[in-house]
Amino acid sequence: MTSRIPHIFESNKLKNKKTFISYLVCGDPSKDFTLSAMHTMSKSGVDIIELGIPFTDPIADGPVIQKSIDRSLKNKTSLRDVISLVKDFRKDNKDTAVVLMGYMNPVHKMGIVKFTKQINDSGIDGVLIVDSPPEESEALNKHLKKYKKSHIYLASPTTTDQRMKSISKKSSGYIYYVTIKGITGSKLSDVSSIRENVNKIKEYSNYNLPVAVGFGIKDSNSARKMAKFSDGIIIGSSIVELIHKHSKNKKTMNSKLSSYLSSISKAI
Amino acid sequence: MKRKINLKNYPNKSGHFDQFGGVYVSETLIHPLKELFSAYKKYATSASFKKILNNELKDYVGRPTPIYYAESLSKSLGKSHIYLKREDLNHTGAHKINNALGQALLAKKMGKTRIIAETGAGQHGVATATACARLNLKCVVYMGEQDIKRQSVNVYRMKLLGAEVISVDSGTKTLKDALNEALRDWVTNVDDTHYIIGSVAGPHPYPMIVRDFQSVIGHEARNQFKKDYNCLPDYLVACVGGGSNAIGLFHPFLNDKVKIIGVEAGGSGIKTGKHAAPLSAGSPGVLHGNRTYIMEDENGQIQDTHSISAGLDYPGVGPEHSWLKDLKRVEYTSVTDDEALDAFFTLTQKEGIIPALETAHALAYSFQLAKKQKNKKILLNLSGRGDKDIDTIAKLTNIKL
């Protein structure tokens, strides 16, 4: 099945809404919790779920997500588990897009052909591999295209104009604009330069590719600010923190998560 | 063997050694790495930079380091001859200063004011802290919590030299996690900070830059050997963790008719799974910005490593080594903790030279080789001195200092 992502951005645009993307690490505190949290996300206004594949050496992540990944790895969560969890999710949800997000080595180990076939068989819509820029992911890009899945690339404050042009051509689904120089969970920097770069990327893609912004968005206030000029916002560390805080009680976790996400959803 | 390619012409433009190497990093680091590459090409290859660096290497580091014929050791082993390239005689006691000083000078040229580094055994940390003191640069060293315990003397040395040592308690609390943390620092402070990677690992252009700065070892050795013995050695032997001392010795000899052997850390033995020998028992994967042989489980998670030597305790290896392995130009093997320990005592007692535990791995293999071969000249990179390991050795032999 073709990626749901382009349609999601389009229909939100018609409704004058911004797309809400949320991240969580698969398998922390358990696969059961993750599945439950994903359903809560879709019921609370989230359009796209970025599901984190745990990896032992997450070089782009700050302490909150690192620790979550460590807990997930203690549960022995593998890439295969992540994919099969999405299959389970699809039994009750056909609308919310799911993007697998992680690092190259688990994908490399599984093999790109097998990986992309399983992506297709499991109702996954896209892939974002943090440590594989366009230069190192031609094969992955080719195979994802074959299945009409989204291949999301990052752009950052250090990305040159020329590169932004080339990334906006290679990316599909959306471009993930990293708002800061730094790791996940850091603080937001000045809004005007973020706005400037987001507008540039939109221009380079002839306004054909949505730009979502992530890193540093924690609450309705920062979400609202970023939503003003982007097509979507991404929240990760705050959600991971919230799930961990209520990891003893699934009911509480779901209700706290729901009210947090609803407040963001309303703000954008 | 058919060999039309010039082995010294790699990596290619995209930073690859065929299928190995590359730039597997998040987008934020792409531009800084390109900047580093341009700066390296612009400054480091210029005559004026080379002159400054060579002067530093001569007067500050103490180069050239001698080649010492270990005669009584050789005689005790058999009929072959062991020669030691004495990198342990460098200022700070290991080969690491060659690269640290080169990169610190480059950072100065680039206008960077803050240096970060990762360290395992502490040798690269000490070398970097030294170069920073010498060149008036701010220095932060990341070190795994477990290594800090194993290498307390080097931690103190770094602090004396004015560096801030940050303890890394994530993951396995060793070298690979220190590297993760240094990469995170770099991505955050990339404007004023240069990251001096200590080995030939990491994303392009690091494996090339570190190799080039370390190649002074091989260039010197090649000239010295030709001058003193009117020939080239039959064998080159060096220990391989990330592989910087090894590639430094090997690279200038790659097109010569010389047998080259890299020795990995076999820990408790390859069969036990408790080792740090990705080339001997790993598979190609992606770690720390490059594609190379790594130690991973069936799900692609990086495995814990085990070695008596903190400097070899790393689940990856420089991509050029992976390439040289697959080309069969270099043979990679391993020795166990116990074999390395034996070699440590042998060299100390026969020649009055206390080697680093890393280096002891290369020694152990050379001894085996010398026993098997007749009339061969074996040149070994004595990459570092063993003062830093005295605590470890004492503990292992139940001696209280």
DSSP for B265-281 reads: EEEEEGGGTEEE-HHHH
- Quote the strand ranges of B54-94, DSSP E: 67-69, 81-86
Phi then psi for B309, rounded to 5 degrees? -105, 120
* Chain A residue with Cα closest to B35: A158
Task: Look up the ipTM and state it.
Answer: 0.96
Q: Residue B243: left (phi > 0), alpha (psi -120 to 50), or beta?
A: left
pLDDT at A123: 97
Residue A135 is part of a domain; what is its CATH number? 3.20.20.70
Nearest to B296 among A109, A157, A159 (CB): A109
Which residues span the domain enclosing A184?
5-267
Nearest-angstrom CA–CA distance, B182 and A46: 34
Helix (H) or strand (E) holding A240: helix A237-245
pLDDT at A166: 93
Phi then psi for A48, rounded to 5 degrees? -130, 130
The model's pLDDT over B205-259, given as tens digits with 9 standing for 90+, comes to 999 999 999 999 999 999 999 999 999 999 999 999 999 999 999 999 999 999 9
Q: Is B22 on the interface with A (CB under 8 A)?
A: yes
Q: Report CA-CA distances (Å) from A88 to A54, A256, B193.
A: 19, 23, 46
Q: Is A178 on the interface with B (CB under 8 A)?
A: yes
The DSSP bridge partners found for residue B99 are none
Residue of B74, B307, B366, B383 marked active site: B383
What mean pLDDT, rounded, does chain B reach? 96
Question: For A210-218, what is the mean pLDDT?
Answer: 95
- B96 is a catalytic site residue: yes
Nearest-angstrom CA–CA distance, B273 and B305: 9
The model's pLDDT over A50-66, given as tens digits with 9 standing for 90+, comes to 999 999 999 999 999 99
Burial class (CB in 10 A: 0-12, 13-18, 19+), A84: middle
Nearest to A105 among B14, B28, B296 (CB): B296
Whether A188 shows a pLDDT value over 90: the answer reads no
Whether B1 shows a pLDDT value over 80: the answer reads no
Instruction: Quote the number of domains for chain A.
Output: 1
* Alpha-carbon dihedral angle through residues A163, A166, A169, A173, given to the nearest 10 degrees: -30
Whether B85 shows a pLDDT value over 80: the answer reads yes
Would you give the end-to-end CA distance of chain A in angstroms? 29
> Is residue A107 helix, strand or coil?
helix
Q: Is A103 on the interface with B (CB under 8 A)?
A: yes
Q: How confident is the model at residue B300 (pLDDT cuts 50, 70, 90)?
A: very high
Whether B2 shows a pLDDT value over 80: the answer reads no
Tell me which chain A residues have a C-beta less than 8 angstroms from the C-beta of B175: none
- A88 is a catalytic site residue: no
Q: How confident is the model at residue B26 (pLDDT cuts 50, 70, 90)?
A: very high
Closest CA to B350 of B88, B71, B68, B94: B71
* Other CB atoms within 10 A of residue A231 CB: 21
- B213 CA to centre of own chain: 11
